[in-house]
Structure 1
């Protein structure tokens, strides 16, 4: 393998990072594939370096980990610290809590796992507002680095001949799992499905280090040009359907460029002009800083600065990212990589202390649900901050407790407990649905007629057929929230449509952050645009269910399709833009009071 520094790989890094940045600005739909280029480059460089050390009997697992720590951890810790501080200043509790989860997970190289659990759809709009969502790829790389050197440790000396066959075998396993799995989010976020991208780079580094089947002929340079053009075309044009094929194609093209580029990067003037020019190599050198900074800057800009990143904002923010990246490249990346500037012991002390402080602080803020300051818009102040703590439980989270409390109503009606009980004169109301169904139940419980009704809640996914049929039979009225009934469902449970009502969908925009950080004078007139497709879906449901449909959006939208964000007294209707706060439930209870009374014939 050529040990001369390859400037063309810096150029390839630039080709990778530019589309990623454009993707997160919303301008390039295939730009996320730049991450796949980085995976292949990493596998190629790391494997080449380690394999050379194995051949020279110089490989050390500890030195390998030290190099990875120097290369990655200082910048990760610094950028997660900056994101954490900005979150403390600008974010609402629910968003701050989510950020602190990401800080914690990123520092433990596990944000890909967290993203799989909390944001399975990488392309979802909500991810645009997550400052550390991009560290999922670092999670994959660092998990790879944690396991990868074990192969070389056990296959040293005479056993090194087994390294390449083992890598090929593991690559085939990973590729097979990648194409056979139907779980899109797992394939995107988990190492076992991404291993082949890194290992293909590694296979190329080993196989072509002493073999040159193409030889340095004029023909191979044309293949190299073709691969380069094809890669750029793939990134900038949506020419291939299917994410799996896009990822595999990107991997193969990148691997080919790395192999053939090694033959031509020194002597081929056209190739050098295309990929080793000063601009590309300069961008490539700071690509790690660019990667770490860009999403932090873009997400916080969306959160507290601008509703939409227009072209002018995109240029301005990109310049900010560039300046920050240059600064951290020279003040953090370079010094920590240089053993002569920062020795191993000071490195470990600095990294360990920083890790402990940042991770502990983020864990604490997560555990208190981000409730560290007064937020009048949510009715939060020093005297009423929740005393409970979060501890990685999806159903005991502080900020969703109001919604989760409805699960206590997941029980039979009071006069139907196996035939035992006092006969109730209250109107029996059954709410069916998921978390949106629990929102409906909260609206009913905040109503003026709450003492005249008995509310029960059931999640269709968690009840036996017999239990659901019993509750449906005994209910006077049934309200569906989110889990809208189908003809098959109605027939299955023999539901009387005369007592069924459909509670409409709802949405309060992309993020509350931009509203929270503005000085709003008239809450009653302040509105925001809904997420793309929500209004169309609402119209479709209205048409489908007709008079049985209770339109929530129609109660708060205007002629432009924008909806209210606050109650008249300045309280958020939703803490996460999709579920009700207590104030939101109270507000809609007032708006729906006469409608519900008419439906249930209440006086």
Structure 2
């Protein structure tokens, strides 16, 4: 199995076979494992959010390796690259977004529909990171419940990377050909420049506006570039090594990941310079590729890690919406319910990986009717329509309920009692004929609560206090 086969959707040239990187599956298992543990039990693994950074480095390494072996020659090659990503990633993500919308409709209060509907649209078109960057740093938005689609911020960053990277690689290799440079040197120069500029901006932005910096593509580009730099080293990067230097490098890299997951905390300014620890740790493992008998392979390449690595994408997709919506189904979301949610995550992930990531992707590859572009168009339109319906429905109800005086008069006239606020839950109001069940019997309706703000917010008359964004 080639390196490219470890990243579905790519094709290795027969003339240059490469070895299977089992350690990459182990790294994926670590990445998704620490993220899930952090989200379910944040106190147990306070730095588990670094799993996202591990994913970014792996993506930079794999995609750059593929592009350097098969560089795009024209816009058609770039389009084909994009369509491979569509077939590889979007079927599962679209399924989870659609399931999340169904869960919101069945379980979540209507007060959340408008914001969550818009976030579903942001997730569908992969600009969730920019939405969170501009909204979640607001004081009032900080109090909002996290949506089932919030974790798509990292997938949005990855998709934006996939959109730009083949064009960038093509430009670098064209410049190498034009000026007579070695391709590897051109790639190293380009990746190194991106690494330095993005890291510098990440340190600056994290120090000045940590909330926005956490989600920015520009503060994360250097993490992809770190993996790309390893890939640009060519055979040196993925050739198996048994020397003591590579052995030490692999263990140091793994130790850096373990240290980050245990010692980091959400209150730290991140990514910034402290993200160098997990990023360089991951890059060091990729570069070392130690196959020494005492290498971390026994930890990274066993059956359990292979299973988690193979299903890591689906696990990441499913765990968050299940975690967010599950508490609406039980009286107390204790340990038993959390374990049940985790089991459900694994079950859905395995089914999604086998039936959607593998079989449905192959169906798109051979189908003449449902091609990748048509799937992209149809899927995006369907999800946008569904999410837009949530947004529009809650917006209409909100507009109808904003006139509090008229709402109070209407309800009181129908019931013949004072039904303002909590009195709307009295027996006289609840049991009155002609009053629909649900939020409309209250005056004002709960859905307008988010719009009920003191004048100081409209006047922007309050002091700002620097605070690091702790929600990962």
Q: Which residue pairs with 1:22 in the alignment?
A: 37
State the partner residue of 1:147.
164
Moved more, 151-160 or 221-230: 151-160
State the 1:107 CA deviation.
1.0
Aligned pair 1:365/2:393, yes or no?
Answer: no
Deviates more, 1:40-49 or 1:200-209: 200-209
Q: Which residue of 2 aligns with 1:514?
A: none
Q: Which of 1, 5, 9 is the matching residue for 2:24?
A: 9
Q: Secondary structure at the match of 2:20?
A: coil
- Cα distance between partner residues in 1 of 2:40 and 2:426: 31
* Superimposed CA distance per residue, residues 10-66 of structure 1 (whole angstroms, 9 cap, x where no aligned partner): 111111111111222143321111111111111011101111113999992122111
Matched, 1:234 2:260: yes
Displacement, 1:324?
0.5
Per-residue deviation, 1:305: 2.2
What CA distance in whole angstroms lies between the structure 2 residues aligned with 1:212 and 1:362?
Answer: 43
* Alpha-carbon distance, 1:140 to partner: 0.7
Distance across 2 between alignment mates of 1:305 and 1:18 = 25
In the alignment, which residue of structure 2 is the partner of 1:63?
80
Separation in structure 2 between the aligned mates of residue 231 and residue 218 of structure 1, nearest angstrom: 20
Distance 1:521 1:325 in 2: 45
More strand by share: 1
Contact 2:247 2:294 in 1 (8 A): no
Cα gap change, 1:57 to 1:135, in 2 (>3 Å)? closer
State the alpha-carbon separation in 1 of the partners of residues 210 and 370 from structure 2: 42
Inter-partner Cα distance in structure 1 for 2:81 and 2:111: 39
How many residue pairs get aligned? The number is 398
1:411-447 CA distance string (max 9 Å, x none): xxxxxxxxxxxxxxxxxxxxxxxxxxxxxxxxxxxxx
Q: Is the 8 A contact 2:314 2:353 kept in 1?
A: yes
Higher helix share: 2
Gaps of 5+ in 1: 372-384, 387-397, 406-519, 525-565, 582-603
Aligned to 1:394: none
Q: Is the 8 A contact 2:53 2:279 kept in 1?
A: yes
1:156 counterpart SS class: helix
Q: Is the contact made by 1:112 and 1:136 (CA closer than 8 Å) also made in structure 2?
A: yes
Q: 1:413 corresponds to which residue?
A: none
* C-alpha contact (below 8 Å) 1:523/1:570 kept by paired residues: no
| Aligned mates of 1:214, 1:192 — CA distance in 2 | 33
Aligned to 1:255: 283
Q: Distance in 1 between matches of 2:324 and 2:53?
A: 22
* Cα distance between partner residues in 2 of 1:133 and 1:139: 10
**Partner Cα distance (1:112, 1:196) in 2:** 16
State the distance in 2 between where 1:296 and 1:287 align: 15
Aligned with residue 221 of structure 1, among 242, 247, 250 = 247
* Partner Cα distance (1:399, 1:118) in 2: 25
> How far apart, in 2, do the equivalents of 1:314 and 1:572 lie?
35
Distance across 1 between alignment mates of 2:379 and 2:71: 33
Q: State the distance in 2 between where 1:334 and 1:274 align.
A: 26
1:324 aligns with 2:348: yes
Structure 2 equivalent of residue 44 of structure 1: 61
3-state secondary structure, aligned to 1:338 = helix
TM-score when scaled to structure 2? 0.74
| Cα distance, 1:339 vs structure 2 | 6.9
Which deviations, in whole Å up to 9, do the C-alpha atoms of 1:554-581 show, x marking residues without a partner?
xxxxxxxxxxxx99x8778854877759
User: Contact conserved, 1:228 with 1:257, CA < 8 A, in 2?
Assistant: yes
Render the CA deviation track for 1:302-331: whole Å, top value 9, x for unaligned: 3x1246532222211100100000010001
**Aligned partners of 1:129 and 1:300 also within 8 Å:** no
Shift in CA distance, 232/58, structure 1 to aligned 2, threshold 3 Å? farther
Q: Could you tell me the TM-score, scaled by structure 1's length?
A: 0.59
Match in the other structure for 2:335: 311
Change (3 A) 1:366 1:228: same
Corresponding residue for residue 83 of structure 1: 100
Q: Aligned-residue CA RMSD in angstroms?
A: 3.7
Specify every segment of 5 or more residues in structure 2 that has no aligned partner in the other structure, as ranges: 4-16, 406-424, 430-437, 454-472
Give the distance between the partners of 1:359 and 1:211, measured in 2 at CA.
42
Judge conservation of contact 2:124–2:380 (CA < 8 Å) in 1: yes
| Larger RCO of the pair (alpha carbons < 8 Å, separation 6+) | 2
Counterpart position of 2:193 = 169
Structure 1 residue aligned with 2:325, among 290, 294, 300?
A: 300
C-alpha deviation, 1:523, in angstroms: 12
2: CA distance between counterparts of 1:55 and 1:572? 59
Is 1:205 aligned with 2:222? Answer: no
Contact 2:28–2:309, Cα closer than 8 Å, also in 1: yes
In structure 2, relative to structure 1, the CA distance for the partners of 1:578 and 1:238 (3 Å cut) is: same
Alpha-carbon distance between aligned partners in 1 of 2:73 and 2:365, rounded to the nearest angstrom:
27
**Which residue in 1 is equivalent to 2:293?**
268
Offset of 1:118 from its aligned partner? 2.5
Q: Could you tell me which of 284, 288, 294 is aligned with 2:313?
A: 288
Pairing of 1:408-427 with structure 2 (within 5 A): none
